[in-house]
Amino acid sequence: MRKHIVAGNWKMNNGLIQTETLISELKQQTKTSDAEVMIAPSFTNLWHAFQSTRQDPIEVVAQNMHFADNGAYTGEVSAGMLKSIGIKTVILGHSERRAYFNETDESLARKVDQALEHEMRVIFCFGEELFNRKAGNHEDIVERQIKNALFHLDADAFKHIVLAYEPVWAIGTGETATPDQAQDMHAFIRQTLEAKYGKDVANDMTILYGGSVKPANAKEIFSKPDVDGGLIGGASLKAEDFFAIVNAF
Ligand code: 13P
């Protein structure tokens, strides 16, 4: 079902003490919107974050996971491990994982399958780079990323997927896609889904925008009809800013 979601991707920030502090500050904020709130701390703090938000309307989600069940994959974390501590949602395909850890559409397709097999919800990220946008082929790039990683799935699987369009040139740069650029791409993503899976899947899909979303620009971006929420990096590390974004709906 299509819903509003605002998710904070903490990336590689916050040790245990900072995690505790930020969560207690988040709990003091008042939610006035209907958005689902998620936070994605590092692996080491997931258990603690999960425990300390049990009574709160904040879902703790993972930033990544491996595609195998278990085995000789030093340094990796499996879906089963995440499930065993109560984590039910995972972010996959973030552009930083694609750029710095060689994640490909093919390996991401395997991760998506693995997450769905474990009945996890996936926040699937994708987006073009600046040179793509300048060359005018940003829609082709996005279409390919979605098709390669997701179009082997059946329509039912999309109930467990949230899409996150994050143009690489807007991440951590202070440069945001304009609300119209976000809207155009989100509408294109919905059309791409509709062409393969029909209207219901397309209309029910929750599509988030990510890339320099701040309290000052969230309202305008979220006012666009095909933008269902945000995946927030830097601004999710400050409780007040994050909740100003949550409440921008
Ligand atoms: P910023 O909000 O810091 O640009 O990061 C966006 C992002 O990558 C969220 O996953």
Q: Of the residues 4, 94, 138, 186, which is catalytic?
A: 94
SS3 218: helix
Paired strand residues for 69: none
121: exposed, middle or buried (Cβ count in 10 Å: 0-12, 13-18, 19+): middle
State the catalytic residue, choosing from 36, 96, 128, 166: 166
Contact (CB, 8 A) for 68 and 55: no
Q: What's the 85 CA to ligand 1 centre distance in angstroms?
A: 26
Q: How many CB atoms lie within 10 A of CB 20?
A: 15
User: Cβ(16)–Cβ(48) under 8 Å?
Assistant: yes
**pLDDT at residue number 173:** 83
Does ligand 1 have an atom closer than 6 angstroms to the CB of 37? no
Tell which atom from ligand 1 comes closest to the C-alpha of 214.
2
Q: What is the pLDDT of residues 145-203, one digit of tens each?
A: 999 999 999 999 999 999 999 999 988 887 788 999 999 999 999 999 999 999 999 99
- Tell me phi and psi for residue 168, to 5 degrees: -60, -35
d(CA 43, CA 76): 10
| Residue 232 CB–ligand 1 contact under 6 Å | yes
Rounded to the nearest 5 percent, the helix, strand and coil shares of the chain are 50, 15, 35
Centre of ligand 1 to C-alpha 171, Å, is: 5
Q: Return the pLDDT at 171.
A: 86
Ligand 1 atom closest to the CA of 173, numbered from 1: 4
Per-block mean pLDDT, blocks of 10 residues, the chain (249 long): 97 98 97 97 98 96 98 98 98 97 97 98 97 94 98 98 96 86 98 98 98 96 98 98 97
Q: State yes or no: is 166 an active-site residue.
A: yes
Q: Which residues pair with 221 in a beta bridge?
A: none
Model pLDDT, residue 176: 83
Nearest Cα residue to atom 2 of ligand 1 = 233
Q: 3-state class of 38 per DSSP?
A: strand
Say how many Å lie between the CA of residue 232 and the centre of ligand 1.
5
d(CA 37, CA 176): 21
Do 221 and 230 contact (CB within 8 A), yes or no?
A: yes
Helix axes 179-197, 138-150, angle to 10 degrees: 40
Catalytic residue list contains 117:
no
Residue 171 Cβ contacting ligand 1 at under 6 Å: yes
Instruction: For residue 172, report the distance from its CA to the centre of ligand 1, in Å.
Output: 6
